[in-house]
Amino acid sequence: MESTNESLFQKAMNRYQSGTEASELIEDFEIITASAPNQAAGWTCLAWLQLLNDQPDAALRAARTAVKLNAQDPQARINLSLALLETNSKGVRDQIDVVQKVLAVAPEFAKELKGSIADGLERKPNWQALKKVKAWLEL
């Protein structure tokens, strides 16, 4: 089952990267997370897609799960920060601090995060929460 899940994950990622709308991919990532609930990457992607699709409450649940499964993933922390901002919840600063610490010890993540933020702003140009996070992280 794991290889089937990995295949579905890769196909969904390829579709996203080729420009498929977030709303068309959410169901794929819901299937991925249901079949592999301990796969942090699936939850991270699901949260991102839900944020892009203006589903902050669902994104908050997915992002919290992603961070619980992989506390060192800066993208999961960014997604959680965004979901917290979008739902007017507390704890944003704590998440940003963790991302800054990860970037300090593993600066190679900065390029990936810059790409992710650029992608988010391209898909959702007036995304105020993402603009705030970008400014805080100085990416």
Neighbours of 125 (CB within 10 A): 9
The CATH code belonging to domain 2-137 is 1.25.40.10
Does the pLDDT value for residue 38 go beyond 70?
Answer: yes
Written as six digits, the tokens of 139 are 């990416």
pLDDT at 82 over 70: yes
Tens digit of each residue's pLDDT (9 = 90 or more) over 40-63: 999 999 999 999 999 999 999 999
Is the separation of the CB atoms in 85 and 129 below 8 Å?
Answer: yes
Confidence band (pLDDT; 50, 70, 90) for 2?
A: very low
Angle between helices 128-137 and 92-105 (to 10 degrees): 40
Tens-place pLDDT, residues 84-107? 999 999 999 999 999 999 999 988
What pTM, to 2 d.p., does this model score?
0.93
Per-residue pLDDT tens over the stretch 19-33: 999 999 999 999 999
